[in-house]
Structures are given as structure tokens and as C-alpha cells.
Structure 1
Amino acid sequence: MRRIIPVRLFSGKHSILTYRTVYSAAQESNIHQENEALISKMPPFDYTPPPYTGPSAAEILKKRQQYLNPAIFHFYKNPLNLVDGKMQYLFDDKGRRYLDAFGGIATVSVGHCHPDVVEAIVNQTRRLQHSTILYLNQAIADFGEALACKLPGDLKVVFFTNSGTEANELAILMAKMYTSCSDIISIRNGYHGNAAGTMAATAQSSYKFNVAQSGVHHALNPDQYRGVFGSDGLKYAKDVEEIITFGTSGQVAGFVAEAIQGVGGIKELAPGYLSAVYDSVKRAGGLCIADEVQSGFGRTGSHFWGFEGHGVVPDIVTMAKGIGNGIPLGAVVTTPEIAKVLTSRNYFNTFGGNPVCTAGGLAVLKVIEKEKLQQNALSIGTYLKGLLSDLKEKYEIIGDVRGRGLMLGVELVTDRQSKTPAKIETALIMDQMKDLGVIIGKGGFFGNVFRITPPLCFTKEDADFLVDVMDYTMSKM
């Protein structure tokens, strides 16, 4: 027979009482057989990684604990030692295959080790690994041109960086310099990085250290699931107008926002919000910054950039993650007029525009176009969202299914009326899905949202398998 026993989980000073299901030997055997049958349904894939001969997961974990920053954490009770990857699949040190539905935090855009990207990186590495922007190099110029051509209006000047945090830092700096103002407005629950300016703009206490953070005003989050105004974007937008009126001199440097909050739990901004806010900010002399670190490069399916889904054109666009398919690469794109503000002093970045990274970035753009991955994100993402919505009708624990394309979120709650976050259940389901061969992420302030951001080469069969595993895991809760 099945028994439910209480288990107390400890975290620092706090403890939480949860429950674990205990099965009889016969039931355990049946579950094992069901697990094996389900794992065998993973879509076939014609690739076998070479044998792994490196250290064990336990040895690597020990070195991490001894030599790496203690702030570094890992997913799962038994962390994965991933040693190989090909397209939408990852392989551990034992050669077991996993469906990657997280994409290294929305970073792997065209697929792990895509041959075209690998070839571009290797060829450039053989010729020249580093030169800095003090010298001419074709890779930097070609990628800058190709990137500028993907953006609307007068967004034609590119500054290369090493990460999304650095891109957002630069964008905020440029907004302040261009406007001669210091006030920045961002949205609660948003995430923009962990350096000085970006930590201030980030509006989640989990990512903010107790250091001086000034000059940023956090507006109401236009959250269609938990927000006070539901999906009425114009009502949320009034808060930005009031911040400008009552919290500033009436002039601001800029407004920064993600079209879909990634770390915040895959939350789309309420309809009508972004265009209304852009109008208010422009009237106050500010610049509008679109943070496309996670939602860019075709991930939303309907558009190449997330902001395009709101019918707006920003003054500055920041990007990273999917830009390089895993290469340390970011960029800021703005207008020629705004770009001139950096010429008043020396602006320099040793690695920004590295030839290896930009060669890889250009290859990523070409693959997205050649393989029609934006269209694939739209079709497969729509199909997958439909399957997840069907699953919501089956399980009360699913409170919301949201997102666009292959940037989807599934929020788990213990009660749909009160929307109480099911944080512990989320971690348990995520761990068990890993055991069945599916890797997904989690996010949201309460850690109760599944983040589904796979490589854009995801297939219908992959979507079916992901939902089958989630369905089976939830049925055993």
C-alpha cells in the first residue's frame, strides 16, 4: 500500500514541513517499469557521444566546493555531470541522453554544438583568436552589419560586450549621459544583471545585495496572473506616469524592461503597457531600453525581438545569451545620435567584439535564417503551449501557462484561488523529470515556475515527450 510520511526540510534557520510518498515493494517495481517504458519513448537521435574518461561527478563537486565561490549552486539533489551536447540533447558522464528544455537559461539558440557555428569558431580560432578593436578585423565588422540589419528604424550602431549584464550596464550609462539625468525606471520582478547599475535596476530582493543602490524607481509589474489590474496594461502604465510626476524632477534618463520577464518567471507584459509607458518616458525626455537578453533572436516565434510584439521601437536594445549560442557575447544597439555620447571620453572593452565570438555570432544569425528557426519556435511553441494548457485542465497544481514561442512558463500553486506558490512541489517534479530524461529550468520570485526555453530546433516529438514526462510525474505526486 502507499503511505504519506512527513519530511522536514531545513534551509538555514528555517524549516519547512513537506510530505514524501512511500510505496510498497510491488508498487516501486511497477513505477520502475513505467519509468523505463517512458524513457524509451524519448525521440530517436542519431548521435552517440564518445566514451567519457574524466573525473566523476562526485570528484568535480568536491573541487567546486573547495575551489569555487560558495555562491555557486547547482540544480538537483544529485547534480548532473554534463559532458556532451548535440542540438537539443545533452549527455552525462555515463552516456545517458537528456532532452534539454532549458537551453542553458535560454542561451542555446540554434542547438548544442551546431556544426555551422562550431566550424566558424574553429576556423577563426585557427587564424586569429584575439586582436582587440584597436585593429581592423572582418569578423567584427561583418557581424555588426548583419546585426544592425535585424533591427528597425535608426538602430544601426553596435557596441559589443561580453554578457547581458555588461550590455545593460552600458545602456544605462549611455541613457544617463545622453539625457544628463540620473533617474532610471524599471519594473518590479525584472532582472537585468548583477553589476552596480544593473543590480539597482533589477527588482527582486533575491538578486540584490545590501549595498548602495540609488537612482532607480521600480514601477508596478504589469503581471497578468498576479498583478492587481490583471491584463489591463494601461492601468499599470499610469504608475510610471506617477513615478515621473512625484518621484523625479519630471525628467528621467530612461526606462528599461524585458518584453517577457525571464528570471521573473516567464511573465509577458500586459497588452498596451509598453507603448503607453514609452510615450510617458519620451515626454519626460528619457530613452527607452529594451532588454532582449532572453527574448531576442526569434525565441518568441512571432517576432525576432520581443519588443516587436508590443508595436514599439526602443532607443537602445541590449542582447546576449542566444546571440552566440553559448559563446560569451553581448551587444548594445542604438542610434548614431545616442552612440556619440561615448565619444566624449575613452570607451574601451578589451574583449568586446572578439573575432572568435563575433564569427560565431554571425554563424548563429545565418543558421536562424537558413533553418527557419524563428518559424519553428512559433509553430512548435504554439503546439507545446497547447499541450501544457491541456495539462493545466488535468492538474490543479498548474495555476498558469504563459509565454510565447519557445519561451514558456508553467506556474505551480497549491491553491488556485489564493495562488499559493508550490515551491517544494516544483523542485520535486523538476528533479523527477530529470530522472526521466528531461531537463527544464525554474524561476519566478518564489521558485515555483517551470522555465521552458529549449534550443529553437526543438521538434513536435520533443514537445510530446516533455509533456508526457511532466504528466506522468505529476500523476505520481
Structure 2
Amino acid sequence: MNEIATDVDWSTDSIIDKRDKYYAASQRAFVPYQKPLILKKGKMQYCWDEKGNKLTDLLGMNLCISVGHAHPAVVEAVTEQVKNLTHCTTMFHHPVPAHLAEELAATMPAGHEWVVHFTNSGAEAIDLAMMMSRAYTGNHDIIALRNSYHGATYGAQAVTGVHGFRHNVAQLSNITFAAEPNQYRGIFGEGTDPYLDEIDRTIAYTTSGALAAMLIEPVQGYGGIIPMPAGYMKGAAEKVRAAGGLMIIDEVQSGFGKTGDSMWCFDSHDVVPDIMIIAKGLGNGIPIGAVVVKKEIAESMAGKFIFHTYGANPVACAAARAVLRVIREDDMINNAKTVGAKLHEGLLQLKDRYDIIGDVRGRGFMQAVELVKDRDTKEPAPDHTAYVFERTREHGLILSKSGTFKNVLRMVPPLCLQMEDVQPVLDAYDRSFADLEKANLG
């Protein structure tokens, strides 16, 4: 047997070669840049690659970094817990996960008894939420939205409406999709009522009429930062509950103050979930997810075991407790509101200067720029988007190229992005779009 090496080879070619040789195809596929981005260090809203180049992280490592890379409070909490006990199986008791469950329950609307089931990831939490809804209601049909992203596990991809994550294999049964209320390119145009009417049609034509649940992201994240319009989530909840189902709200991307309004985005929509899904930013990069659910619903699962090996890991839970504390003590939600508003204002000014920009949307630290070949037809411009995306990296930004047509530049930075970061970010965008004009892609 070969000796296991403990050193790390930071040479660029070696890193790429090892990944290509030893990663499975299913894990190699999700690489957005033409030249792989290799990261070596992070500090708050910044990262450095293996060559020492500094980049502003406008993606929070796919929204997992919520309060900042290597945030001192999170590092301290994790270090102290690791020194005492790295893992405690959920078969045994430990106070840190219990404290975190209590603290999460306290963020939820009053008048209900909330309980928590910790998982390893958001996708696992989605799987569990669907199982809970079916167990509690006795029904099987679940509605999801087109253009949604709820994860890539076998269960979660069944309710994911982005085709790039739906593999050519048999999916879970009794899942149906309704048109998302996209106010820029939705099939019914602008407005809320036409999309609520679509839920009625979906129930009438593609389900038994008896629902288990509906899943909604308050802001569709990977789908390209598509906010739910006012009144939609409340109206959807009423329709779903009238059909016997539960409202599952997926706050994996929109939660933790990302929109600058409140801890959970659903608070701004006058709706109370039956089940809420969280993950990603909960651990600030340490793997953890959770189902936060009304107690009477969770009790429907009491007769059998549901076991997530690292769910409620005390190290991850210690990190999550620090995250909640930092968000509160450092007033990070308000920071997302004010800094995000300034960023949005600058992006709108760029739209005035560059015709390729068809739409600028978002609130707080969930922002998107959608590129189109023609503003009237709204024909997507994926090739132009890919070019600008590559140039933004060269100009010092990390962001995402997403949306169904890969024509959306998505920004969801850590909550610590500061006002002094805004102009450099806008300047980098400006240079990238100027580069596009010079490239003359047609």
C-alpha cells in the first residue's frame, strides 16, 4: 500500500490533473470557468487564488459563507468545540445542538411550537420535508415551481425545475410543476393573480386534488434571482392548504438576512411556513442543514428512525450558533439592506449604459444582471454572458453564471460586504462590459 501523503501540492497543473484523474464524472461536471478557479485563502468578503490574486467573493462560495470567510467568531467557536469533542452521534445527547435548535425556533413566528431536525445538507432537508409532508397529510402529490432549485440528491432533484440538475433517470412520482411568477420573462407576464390561477389549474389537471405540499423559494436562487411578487406566497399557501397540503418554504439561499429585510425572507410575504428548509449559510461553510417544522407535523415521523450521521454534529452546530450571534450583534441584515441598495443603484446605471443588460433585479445581497440580445424580444445572450463572466474574474470578482439559459450574472455575497466594496465591484463590471463591446461578439 502506498504511503498516504500529508503535504499539499499547490502547483496549478497538479491540482487540475489530480481532480481530473480521481474525481468521478458526476463531481467534475460543475466547473463554471474555462480556466479552473483554485482558491487558497479567504478572509471575510475576499479570497485569494493559488497565485496570490485577490478576488471579491460575490457568491459566498455558493452562498455557504454567510458572515465572512474565516470569521473570527466562527473560527473560535469551531476551534473550541473541536478541542473538546469533534462528533457526538445523534443517538447521544449534547447541549450545543439543543441550544442551536432553541435559538432557531426563536427566530420563527410566534403562536406555533417549532422543532428542528438537523441534516448534513439542504438537499437532505428537502428530502425529509417531502417525506414529512406525505406522512402528516396522508397525501402524495407535491407541487414545485418551474425554474426552481432545491438540490441534486435523488429526491431533491425531483422538485428541481432547472434541467441541468435533472438527470436522465426515473424521478420520484407524484411531483408536478407550476409556472414560476417571473416578472421579467414569465409566461403570463407581470402580475401575481395569473400565477395563482396557474396553481388552481395545476391542482385540477395534474394532481389527485389532494396535496401533500408545495415548495417555494422566496427568491429563486440558482434560477437567476427571481423574487416572488407581493401576495404570491400568501395566496399559494391558501390554495395549497385548501387542498390538504403543507407550505414548505426553502430559505437555503434567501435566508439569513440575504434580502436585507429580516432573518427569513418569508417574513416579508405575510405567510407562515409549515416547514422551513435552511442550510448553506447556517454553518458559514461548515456542512449543516435543518428542517424547522411545526411540532405536530414532525410528530408524524415519530414511529420510525430518520438518521443523518453528521446531523447535529456539535462542531457544525457551534459554527451555526456563532453565525446567528454575529448576524444579530453586527447588524448584518441592515448592512445587506443599505450596501445592497447602493450596489443595485450602480447596476441600474450600468444597464443605462449597456444595451446588452436586459434586467437588473434583486434586494439586499441577492442581485442579478440578465443579459439579452434584444431588450424587446428578451432573447437570452448566453455567449455574451459567458464572456462577461470570464472577464469579471480577470477584474477581481467571483460570481455565478446561472438561470435556465445561462444568461444571468448572479451575486449573493457574504453579509460582511462593505460600502467601500461597491464602487470597485461596479468598476470591475464596467470594465468587463467594455471588454465585451471591444470583443464584438455580434
Deviates more, 1:176-185 or 1:64-73: 64-73
**Kept in 2: contact 1:241–1:277 (CA 8 A):** no
> What is the match of residue 390 of structure 1?
349
Q: 1:135 aligns with which of 84, 92, 95?
A: 92
Unmatched 5+ stretches in structure 1: 1-51
- Please, what is the CA RMSD of the aligned residues? 1.3
Q: How does 1:95-174 map to 2 (within 5 A)?
A: 95-153=52-110, 154=112, 156-174=114-132
**Kept in 2: contact 1:432–1:473 (CA 8 A):** yes
Q: How does 1:2-401 map to 2 (within 5 A)?
A: 54-71=9-26, 72=28, 73-153=30-110, 154=112, 156-213=114-171, 214-401=173-360
CA distance in 2 between counterparts of 1:90 and 1:183 reads: 44
Q: CA deviation at 1:76?
A: 2.0
CA distance in 2 between counterparts of 1:475 and 1:93 reads: 27
> What is the match of residue 23 of structure 1?
none
> What is the match of residue 14 of structure 1?
none
TM-score scaled to structure 2, two decimals? 0.94
> What is the match of residue 3 of structure 2?
none
> What is the match of residue 388 of structure 2?
429
SS of the residue 2:433 aligns to: helix
Q: Quickly say closer, same or farther: Cα 1:54–1:277, change in 2 above 3 A.
A: same
SS of the residue 2:214 aligns to: strand
CA distance in 1 between counterparts of 2:113 and 2:177 reads: 26
Aligned-pair identity in percent equals 44
Q: Render the CA deviation track for 1:99-152: whole Å, top value 9, x for unaligned.
A: 111111122110000010001001000100111111111111111111111111
**Kept in 2: contact 1:155–1:315 (CA 8 A):** no
**Kept in 2: contact 1:133–1:353 (CA 8 A):** yes
Q: CA deviation at 1:476?
A: 2.4
CA distance in 2 between counterparts of 1:197 and 1:381 reads: 34
Deviates more, 1:229-238 or 1:217-226: 229-238
SS of the residue 2:404 aligns to: coil
Q: Render the CA deviation track for 1:47-89: whole Å, top value 9, x for unaligned.
A: xxxxx98321211100000000123232322222211000000
- Which ranges of 4 or more aligned residues in structure 1 deviate by more than 4 Å? none
> Higher Cα Rg: structure 1 or 2?
1
**Kept in 1: contact 2:149–2:220 (CA 8 A):** yes
CA distance in 1 between counterparts of 2:315 and 2:371 reads: 41
- Pairing 1:467–2:426 present: yes
Deviates more, 1:154-163 or 1:354-363: 154-163
**Kept in 1: contact 2:32–2:401 (CA 8 A):** no
SS of the residue 1:344 aligns to: coil
Letter aligned with residue 20 of structure 2: Q
Q: CA deviation at 1:155?
A: 5.3
CA distance in 2 between counterparts of 1:195 and 1:103 reads: 22
> What is the match of residue 4 of structure 2?
none
CA distance in 2 between counterparts of 1:128 and 1:250 reads: 49
Unmatched 5+ stretches in structure 2: 1-6, 437-442
Q: Render the CA deviation track for 1:320-345: whole Å, top value 9, x for unaligned.
A: 01111111100000111001011021
**Kept in 2: contact 1:408–1:451 (CA 8 A):** yes
Q: Render the CA deviation track for 1:288-345: whole Å, top value 9, x for unaligned.
A: 0000000001111012112122111110000001111111100000111001011021
Q: CA deviation at 1:208?
A: 0.7
Letter aligned with residue 428 of structure 1: Y
> What is the match of residue 45 of structure 1?
none
